Amino acid sequence: MTLEILTSDMLSPVRHGFFTRRGGASSGIFAGLNCGHGSSDQTQAVALNRNRVAAAMEVAPERLIGIHQVHSPTVLTIDAPIQGEKPKADAIVTATPDLALTILTADCQPVLFADPEAEVIGAAHAGWRGALDGVLEATLDAMEALGAQRANIRAVIGPSISQRAYEVGPEFLDDFLTESPDNSRFFANGQEDRMQFDLPAFGLHRLRRAGVGQAEWTRHCTYSDPDRFYSYRRATHSKEADYGRLISAIRL
Please report which confidence band the pLDDT of residue 64 belongs to, taking 50, 70 and 90 as the band edges: very high
- pLDDT of 1 over the 80 cut: no
Q: What is the 3-state secondary structure (H, E, C) of the chain?
A: CCCCEECCHHHCCCEEEEECCCCCCECHHHCECCCCCCCCCCHHHHHHHHHHHHHHHCCCHHHEECCECCCCCCEEECCCCCCCCCCECCEEEECCCCCEEEEEECCCEEEEEEECCCCEEEEEEECHHHHHHCHHHHHHHHHHHCCCCHHHCEEEECCECCHHHCEECHHHHHHHHHHCHHHHHHEEECCCCCEEECHHHHHHHHHHHCCCCEEEECCCECCCCCCCCCCHHHHHHCCCCCCCCEEEEEEC
Give the fold, CATH level 3, of 5-162+198-251.
CNF1/YfiH-like putative cysteine hydrolases (3.60.140)
**Closest to 176 in 3D by CA, of 204, 198, 209:** 198
pLDDT digits (tens, 9 = 90+) for 103-114: 999 999 999 999
| Long-range interactions of 79-86: CB distance < 8 A, separation 24+ | none
Q: Is residue 247 a contact partner of residue 33, using CB atoms and an 8 Å limit?
A: yes
* Sequence-separated (6 or more) residues with CB below 8 Å from residue 136: 111, 124, 126, 155, 203, 206, 207, 210
- pLDDT of 61 over the 80 cut: yes
Which whole number is the average pLDDT over 73-86?
A: 95
Note the pLDDT of residue 237: 96
- pLDDT of 153 over the 80 cut: yes
pLDDT digits (tens, 9 = 90+) for 172-190: 999 999 999 999 999 999 9
Q: What is the percentage of the chain residues whose pLDDT exceeds 90? A: 97
Note the pLDDT of residue 224: 97
Which whole number is the average pLDDT over 212-228?
A: 98
